[in-house]
A and B are shown apart, each in its own frame.
Chain A
Amino acid sequence: MDKLLRVNMSAAGGPKATEEPIGNYAGLGGRALTTAIVSKEVPPDCHPLGAENKLVIAPGLLSGSPAAMSGRISVGCKSPLTGGIKESNSGGQAAQVLARLGYAGIVLEGKPADAEARYKVVINKDGVQVVRDDSLKMLPNYDLIEKMKGEYGDKVACMSIGTAGEMKMGAASIACTDMEFRPTRHAGRGGVGAVMGAKGVKVIVMDDKGLKMRAAKDPEKFKAANKSFVKGLQKHSVTGEALPAYGTNVLTNILNEVGGYPTYNFKQGNFDGAAKISGETLAATEKERGGNPTHGCHRGCVIRCSGIYHDKDGHYLTKQPEYETVWAHGGHCGIEDMDKIAQLDFMDDNYGLDTIEMGAAIGVAMDAGLIEFGDADGAIRLVEEVGKGTHLGRILGNGAGVTGKAFGVERVPVVKNQAMPAYDPRAVQGIGVTYATTTQGADHTAGYAVAQNVLKVGGDVDALKPEGQVALSRDLQIATAAIDSTGMCLFIAFAILDQPDTFQALLDMIGAFHGTEMTADGVTELGKKVLSMEREFNARAGFTKAHDRLPRYFQTEAFAPHNVTFDVKDDDLDTVFNW
């Protein structure tokens, strides 16, 4: 992983791929690499869909090795949804395969002269080909991947866009194929699919046939650390039991119980239909129908929070929808029919859409009276319109913010124009601090529960005091930026949070792999560096502290059942990045 692949889509005579040494970006992976390249090479004031923007794809530091959980891939660019810097990451096979091909990253640059052209980028051990193939035009992801299977078999990994990406929608995702060669894992947030669409690239096919796993510099130490890391994940009740048994949707019941489950477009915190769409019900249904509630999204995942969802007749319908998806298309829209939610999940994957942004947009449209809350068939029709690109579909496909504007809705749950996920910031206010201040737009994964007590990034904070929230959000955002740079799945967070020896095993594993010593301080510095680059990019793109705010109604509308408002002061929000 000591080289970058640059694909210049504007090159004279047609797109051109060149390899170059990683140079100054050496030692960076995942989000650290995408952020470093975007912040250095992309003019912050450029148009996100223009030739000056770059789409950077980077596996993590341990991807392609036998390290457990190391298969996340980061995608970075200037976001067409937020107008700021973006890092969106995904599971699936792509990270492992790309890393084995020896690339620390792929950089798609420029823009093809012919906007109607569609390209596939094919990478294998013998080299790189950029091939024009207009027959791929407007194929949804599942059809596209079926076609790729015919050409390259099902042992390759693909990253692709559906119709939404080709139409350059703000909610467009980039799909990564999973272990079954289905396009079910998505770098969903921020419209990264639209940037790939603007580059004219429909699919990247990666083939690691004939290549070996990446080997550690200190194999014995690496093996021992990996073993201890896996043991730590397996013995913890979240990573070893709750996530494998129920997936992330295990959160529905508890969020609903505490009145923090945003329902009917963030109007109330309880949804009567929650138990019908909970992780517990979902897992039971999957078992009953011959699906599978315990499944990894890539090889090397030992938590296996994902699953396979079958329809009533026992046929594959979609992968197990995540908590945020079930919320966005479920409680947020008043829909309690799990089969319909699963169908919406499939459609989002197929057209290449971020499930959170799409569900949020439909909820806003429901608030505007376009269809009734609870109208599942109506929601399916709307996603159909998005996939086909009707005029209405293009509004919805550009996210909750655009939909709110088009329909004159005041209650639009976005920060930096990106839709909020499934946790109401009035009930869980610390999440609101992260939603407001993250460089990414409202994002629940930007400040994850990663090793806060181990890292103590901002010193000892009395977490039970209200003012602790700002400091904690800062610590979590720093730690998350660092973990995103390793390419590890964020769900390792719990074992790390509770078990210092598991955290140490992770540091040892990275250290043994690269032949350097990795310390908690080093992790903190990396996280700060990434965030500083992102903040600086956003400032140069025109973002000010006024953008680090939740929409006003979160401060003025009391949220039932606890009748709470978001009351973290603006002045406090402005101190999140003081370190």
Chain B
Amino acid sequence: MSLSGDTRSRTSIALTLERTALSLFSPFLQSGIWVRAALPSSVQSFLCDQMGLEPDYVRERILSIVLNGHPVDNTEKALLRDGSRLALSSGMPGLAGAALRRGSPLASFRGSITHRDSAAAGPKQEGTICVKLFNLMMGDLGPGFLARGILINSEAIARFLRQNRALFLEKCRSVQRNEIAIEPATFLEEMADGEEELFLSVIPPPERP
């Protein structure tokens, strides 16, 4: 699946959800969320320049990176294009987990599937990529990606919210559709029948001082 095209014409939904309920979105985060990005872009530039992550964080915490199914060693040379699939993970246990790490001393163990450096980037334009967040990355980066906004099929989100209806209604502080406030319950009902691609952002309420 690829969600590309003019992403700005989509219906936008902005949810304000209590921080403790953000983990509701974990199934989406590990299966893959579609996000807008200026492409082509190196993985390093996407993470640091577009997502605003510190290079130290990327180096020390995102220990396994997989681009289109290939483990990446050099984030500067691995290029994201429209429709790319990028998975981010912390360090994993086991021999395979060690071998899959960036620049692992065991990198030759998975040499047959390692990502080969991509060609140089050309002029950028907006596109979409699928980002998968595994393990510690879900908690670390999930809130940032959700706040920035993801592209999602309304039917998928409706099914998901129906399954978690009670919790959603308890934890949802506000819903805005195309910047107009609607009741969470109304939103759930209307979502049930829809089948369109939405631009969904989820933010926690501001912290009380």
Contacts and interface: CB of A to CB of B under 8 A. Distances in A.
Interface of A: 236-238, 241-243, 245-246, 248, 250-251, 253-255, 257-260, 275, 278-281, 284, 305, 323, 423, 426-431, 434, 444, 447-449, 452-453, 463-466, 468-469, 472, 476, 491, 493-494, 497, 561-562, 564, 567
Which 8 residue pairs spanning A and B have beta carbons closest together? A430-B109, A449-B98, A468-B108, A564-B112, A238-B91, A253-B134, A257-B87, A463-B105
B114 to A, nearest CB: 9
Nearest to A469: B108
A113 to B, nearest CB: 45
A253 B27 contact: no
B112 A427 contact: yes
23 contacts: A236-B91, A237-B91, A238-B91, A241-B136, A242-B136, A243-B93, A248-B94, A251-B96, A255-B96, A257-B87, A275-B27, A275-B30, A423-B96, A427-B113, A428-B113, A429-B109, A430-B95, A430-B99, A430-B108, A431-B99, A449-B94, A464-B108, A469-B109
Nearest to A433: B109
A482 B92 CA distance: 22
Given A279-B135, A428-B99, A497-B98, A463 B30 contact: no
B107 A463 contact: yes
The binding surface of chain A is classed by DSSP as helix
B102 interface: no
Contacts of A472: 105-106, 108-109
A258 B109 contact: no
B90 interface: yes
B17 interface: no
A245 B138 CA distance: 12
Interface range on chain B (Cβ under 8 Å from partner): 35 or more
Given A242-B135, A426-B112, A429-B111, A444 B91 contact: no
Interface of B: 23, 26-27, 30-31, 61, 63-64, 66, 69-71, 87, 89-100, 104-113, 132, 134-136, 138
Contacts of A278: 30, 134
Contacts of A448: 94-95
A258 B113 contact: yes
A444 B105 contact: no
B163 to A, nearest CB: 13
The binding surface of chain B is classed by DSSP as mixed
Given A257-B132, A562-B112, A323 B94 contact: yes
B61 A237 contact: yes
A323 B87 CA distance: 19
Contacts of A466: 108, 111
Given A259-B69, A280-B138, A427-B113, A251 B30 contact: no
Given A429-B111, A463-B104, A472-B108, A248 B93 contact: yes
Given A423-B94, A564-B113, 20 more contacts: A237-B91, A237-B136, A242-B91, A242-B93, A243-B93, A248-B94, A251-B92, A260-B113, A275-B30, A280-B135, A284-B26, A444-B96, A448-B95, A449-B97, A449-B106, A463-B104, A464-B108, A464-B111, A491-B93, A561-B69
A427 B94 contact: no
Nearest to A278: B30
A177 B112 CA distance: 41
Contacts of B89: 253-254
B98 A242 contact: no
Contacts of A431: 95-96, 99, 109
A257 B66 contact: yes
Contacts of B61: 237
